[in-house]
Amino acid sequence: MALRAGLRAETRHTVGPEDTAERVGSGDVPVLATPRLLALAEAATVRAVAGRLEEGRTSVGTRVELTHRAPTPVGGRVTVQAELTEVDGRRLVFAVTATDEAGATIGSGRIERLTVDRATFLARATG
């Protein structure tokens, strides 16, 4: 169950009214909001390492580079694929690609996560 480059996962989602830039406040158009695309990409990174972290550990997002290239309307389907490209101690680096139902790339980027002890992290969060 070791973390290693090459681990992959994907997230599939049909865009609903709650996913639009209008609804989340990131714009005024009824298409997939960039923050929602990012959330789908992060979900794919979490899935890529699910079941491979040591007991009591989790991963948290620390850095994001995301290019949102094309709009997806309500009802459109999006697939986000994440691949773990680098493991550097506790630092995990993922390449992410988002495509629409026609296979066109609508977004791409890189997400870094850090593995942490879940209890210690939560204790710091609650003060």
Q: Is 127 marked as a binding-site residue?
A: no
User: Is residue 32 classed as helix, strand or coil in its secondary structure?
Assistant: strand
Domain covering 8-126 assigned CATH 3.40.50.11810 in the classification? no
34 catalytically annotated: yes
Q: What is the pLDDT of residues 85-117, one digit of tens each?
A: 999 999 999 999 999 999 999 999 999 999 999
- Beginning with the edge strand found earlier in the chain, give each strand of the sheet holding 57-68 in spatial order: 8-14, 77-88, 91-100, 105-117, 57-68
Domain boundaries, the chain: 8-126
Residue 61, annotated as binding a ligand: yes
CA-based nearest residue to 93, from 65, 121, 120, 117: 65
Stated pTM of the model: 0.95
Catalytic residue among 10, 11, 20, 68: 68
Contact by Cβ (8 Å): 45, 65: no
